[in-house]
A and B are shown apart, each in its own frame.
Chain A
Amino acid sequence: MFTWWHRVGNVPGTVQSIERAAAVLRLLAGESGPLSLGQIARSLDLAKGTTHGILATLRHVGFVEQDRLSGQYRLGSALLQLGHGHLDVNELRSHAINWADPLAARSGEAVRVGTVHDGQVLVVHHVFRPDDTFQTLDVGSTLPLHATALGKVLLAYRFTKINLDRFTRRTIRTTEALEAELQRVREAGWSLEAEELTPGTAAVAAPIRGSGGLVVGAVGISGLVERICDSHYRPHQHLVALVREAARAISRDLGAARR
């Protein structure tokens, strides 16, 4: 008979502090925003001193980051990169396909799913804009990270050194501007590209998270700027909501499948 006794902890031969560290990581992964030391300690029913020691160690290995101003904790980039290398792109597509289709149907725009490969966005899935015009599949092609909505999402959750090539007069050109933009993406949970790669074209994307909340890809829509945005380059909120909903659905699918 299979029992769950080993989940309780204090099993001979296991290290309690690692179990606790795993619980901290799971807790942070499950939250949308950063958590304070007090919140984490309360949530796991641990002493503050113990919790602080665990967090300091996780920070040291890069699995947790601490916000300099608020002092709150969130998952670190090292952890995100650790997870990334293990997701096969064709596997990612097979999970995304059922949610990318409804996104295209509801938004009326083309959908792409991307992941990072060699400092660029690799398109791993593409759904045509549902108007039956002639379109060509661009699965396997690459896009610049800093000039696309998909790329900004992917950059926002990892450290990748890139060249800021200029494509239009709206392309981000400085590291400072890019950092500010990525901070905005992390706070909002979605990204926008407004005539930054191709004049007349705009796009919205959101992160796909794998098991434990790791960002493993991005899903987004792209189309004519006047369909995606208002006259002030602000994306239509219902489109943003559709993209985020699809991203969450794919993330749920991935988390469930890889458990």
Chain B
Amino acid sequence: MTERYVVAIDQGTTSTRCIVFDRRGRLVSLAQHEHKQYYPKPGWVEHDAAEIWRNVEKLAPEALRNAGITEDQVAAVGIANQRETTLLWERDTGVPVGHAIVWQDTRTDDLVRDLLGAEGAKTVEHDSGLPIATYFSGPRVRWMLDQRPELRERAERGEILFGTMETWLIWKLTGGLHVTDVTNASRTMLLDVHTLDWSPVALEFFGIPRAMLPEIRPSVGVFGTAVAGFPGVRIGAALGDQQAALFGQTCFSPGEAKCTYGTGSFLLLNTGQELVRSTHGLLSTVAYQIEGGQAAYALEGSIAITGSLVQWFRDQLELIASAPEIETLARTVADNGGCYIVPAFSGLYAPYWRSEARGVIVGLTSYITKGHLARAVLEATAWQTREVVDAMNADSGLDLTTLRVDGGMTADNLLMQSIADVLDVPVVRPLAAETVSLGAAYAAGLAVGYWPDLEGLRQNWHRAAQWLPTMDPQVRATEYRNWQRAVERTFDWTRPS
């Protein structure tokens, strides 16, 4: 019998990747293409969805060729995608109406401010589990329909369709299936997170016609069979990228959490079949749903600036030549020398959500060297993680016992040790670095019976590295208090003009 494989499509913010995995969850081949970022105005970020699809068409044969396999050896394809990025296209032609508006885009700023004061805002926030913010898709769809009134009419007739990136890719792969999965739907603000169906209240609130929305499916289950890209192969799963990482880290039990450290960082805690409402500034989101089963929920803490603080240190201050050198510089000193950096560059995300806050460097004395600043940069990521974990513990009533980590910053040993120290729990890095793709592959393989069950997937998870807390509890308490005092100094910096 010929060996069979599972393929993941990871449609990310800067690039799209196709990765082939074997039965033990090991990476067999990888193909990647970047796509163009469009910045038409300050705060605006767009992608050309047609370009992204062309990339997928090129990547599919490339990934199979690199692996030395053919389509008939692919058991299933799974999709993980950048979340909240919003696209409209014509049902008849399949041609996008303009560019996709990317999750980082803040053009709906004014609209969101108006919506926050509108009647029904509280109900929408309650039903969706999310605060009304520029981050999510709902306000973007509204903005697009407001810009071109003829689009709203056509959307009402079902001629214009809305989708996030997985919806777009499944549409192209299957030749016209208009579907989404619950995790991506849960980031639109249009989903009622209890019923897992589109919320009539939210649709009315945002003024979005039901006819333009995709059908909601479980994340794990056969969506359809591809006719393009991977002809004849079943699409077994679709998940938002952070949810896919949670799945790839096999955090299937309540209380299990992962944090992906990239430009920003995303900590997701599985809360099981119970939807936990945060009173500490976290998001309530769907973790995954397996066909025929109940949805698993997650609490999510988003940190805006982590890896990008290191990039700022490199590109704007030019104190290091490459990101990994931050560790070298930080190790030239034994501690932060009393210096703290709070990177509230565009306000603070979880758990504060203070958009008026701005960054500070405090505790400067003539003693401080660039080494101390480098320490403070790394510690900022550690303390921001601590604040999110504290909020999660308080909201969920579950005490985090281990943090599973992934993402580019896990190469920084000093940072990983700092996180273990400030959280006072072991920090564990799994052997599979590509957790987003792996999660999509796992979910797709599970849907078609390539892997038997969640327990079978757990067997594939192996520890590659572990950092144990070594910080003195007294020092931890003092440092945390200092960090919190530094955070307080960022508040109320910008004032309404």
Q: Which residues of A contact B (CB under 8 A)?
A: 88-91, 93-94, 97-98, 101-102, 104-106, 126-128, 130-132, 135, 137, 139-140
Contact = CB atoms under 8 A, between A and B. Distances in A.
B495 interface: no
A105 B26 contact: yes
B413 interface: yes
Interface of B is mostly: mixed
B171 interface: no
A131 B26 CA distance: 15
A135 B463 CA distance: 9
Contacts of B27: 102
A102 B324 CA distance: 21
Nearest to B466: A137
Given A105-B462, A137-B467, A97 B411 contact: yes
Contacts of B123: none
Contacts of A131: 462
Contacts of B433: 97-98, 101
How extensive is the interface on chain B, given as a class?
20 to 34
A39 to B, nearest CB: 32
Contacts of A93: 324, 411, 413
Most A-side CB within 10 Å, residue of B323, B326, B465: B465
Contacts of B464: 101, 104, 127-128, 130
Contacts of B413: 90, 93, 137, 139-140
Given A88-B322, A128-B463, 10 more contacts: A88-B328, A90-B326, A90-B327, A90-B413, A94-B324, A94-B408, A101-B433, A127-B464, A130-B463, A132-B462
Given A104-B431, A127-B431, A132 B328 contact: no
A101 B410 CA distance: 13
A128 B463 CA distance: 7
A126 B324 contact: no
Interface string B315-330: 0000000111111100
Contacts of A137: 413, 465-467
- Select the residue from B27, B328, B412, B463 with max chain A CB neighbours within 10 A: B463
A105 B27 CA distance: 10
A43 B322 CA distance: 36
A231 B408 CA distance: 41
Contacts of B443: none
Contacts of A126: 465
B52 interface: no
Contacts of B467: 137
B465 A128 contact: yes
Interface in B440-497: 462-467
B27 to A, nearest CB: 6
Nearest to A133: B463
Nearest to B411: A94
A101 B27 CA distance: 10
A140 B411 CA distance: 14
Contacts, number: 66
29 contacts: A88-B322, A88-B328, A89-B328, A90-B324, A90-B326, A90-B328, A90-B412, A93-B324, A94-B324, A94-B408, A97-B410, A97-B411, A101-B432, A101-B464, A102-B26, A104-B431, A105-B431, A105-B432, A128-B431, A128-B463, A128-B464, A130-B431, A131-B462, A132-B462, A132-B463, A135-B463, A137-B413, A137-B465, A139-B413
Contacts of B411: 90, 93-94, 97
B325 A90 contact: yes
A131 B460 CA distance: 10
B462 to A, nearest CB: 4
A154 to B, nearest CB: 20
Contacts of A88: 322, 324-325, 328
Interface string B16-31: 0000000010110000
Most buried by A among B24, B325, B326, B467: B325
A193 to B, nearest CB: 22
B223 to A, nearest CB: 29
Contact of B325 (A91, A132, A140): A91
A105 B327 CA distance: 27
Contacts of B322: 88, 91
Contacts of B323: 94
B471 to A, nearest CB: 16
A104 B431 CA distance: 8
For the complex of A and B, list the 9 residue pairs with the smallest distance between their C-beta atoms, beginning with the closest: A130-B462, A90-B324, A94-B324, A90-B327, A94-B411, A91-B324, A97-B411, A127-B464, A105-B26
A152 to B, nearest CB: 25
Nearest to B325: A88
- Residue from B26, B328, B464 having most chain A Cβ neighbours under 10 A: B464
B324 A101 contact: no
Contacts of B432: 101, 105
Contacts of B324: 88, 90-91, 93-94
A130 B428 CA distance: 13
A89 B411 CA distance: 11
A89 B413 CA distance: 12
A93 B410 CA distance: 11
B26 to A, nearest CB: 5
Contacts of B465: 126-128, 137
Nearest to B26: A105
Contacts of A132: 462-463
B141 to A, nearest CB: 37
A37 to B, nearest CB: 39
A128 B467 CA distance: 12
Contacts of A97: 410-411, 433
Nearest to B462: A130
Interface string B321-363: 0111111100000000000000000000000000000000000
B34 to A, nearest CB: 14
Nearest to B322: A91
Interface string B343-387: 000000000000000000000000000000000000000000000
Contacts of B412: 90
Contacts of B325: 88, 90-91
Nearest to B461: A132
